[in-house]
Amino acid sequence: MAINGWRLDPAAFDRAISDAETALADMATAEQSLQNAAGAAESLAARAVNTATALSAFKQNPGEIRLASIGSRVTASIAAARSIANAYAAGDEEMAANANKGIEQ
């Protein structure tokens, strides 16, 4: 787990962010594969008007827009998580520096 109470394990947090980035890339690959398959099926079904029309509609499905929206949200979440991890690390460094100043006095 990346967060333990108020403590954050930076290595685990980085792994979680990297896993999310990998999943996002996989989602983009899957979306492209789906579009390629729909295009190929549409070409094969060109003689069957109803099938070609249905496949054409499928290629322009609002689900594609939802996938893009989900991808955008995941990308924004990853950026926010990285910002949080950087702020946490900076806070740790500042706290350590302040503690060292107190010891030296």
DSSP 25-57: HHHHHHHHHHHHHHHHHHHHTTTSHHHHHHHHH
SS3 state of residue 88 = helix
- pLDDT at residue 5, rounded to an integer: 55
Task: Single out the residue of 22, 34, 25, 20 nearest to residue 64, CA to CA.
Answer: 34
pTM above 0.85, yes or no: no
- pLDDT at residue 6, rounded to an integer: 62
Token readout for 86 is: 């950087």
For the chain, 105 residues long, the average pLDDT of each consecutive 10-residue run is: 62 87 83 74 67 67 65 85 86 83 70
- pLDDT at residue 32, rounded to an integer: 77
Provide the 10 A C-beta neighbour count for residue 77: 13
The set of residues, in sequence order, having a beta carbon less than 8 Å from that of 45 and lying 6+ positions away, is 51, 52, 55
- pLDDT at residue 2, rounded to an integer: 52
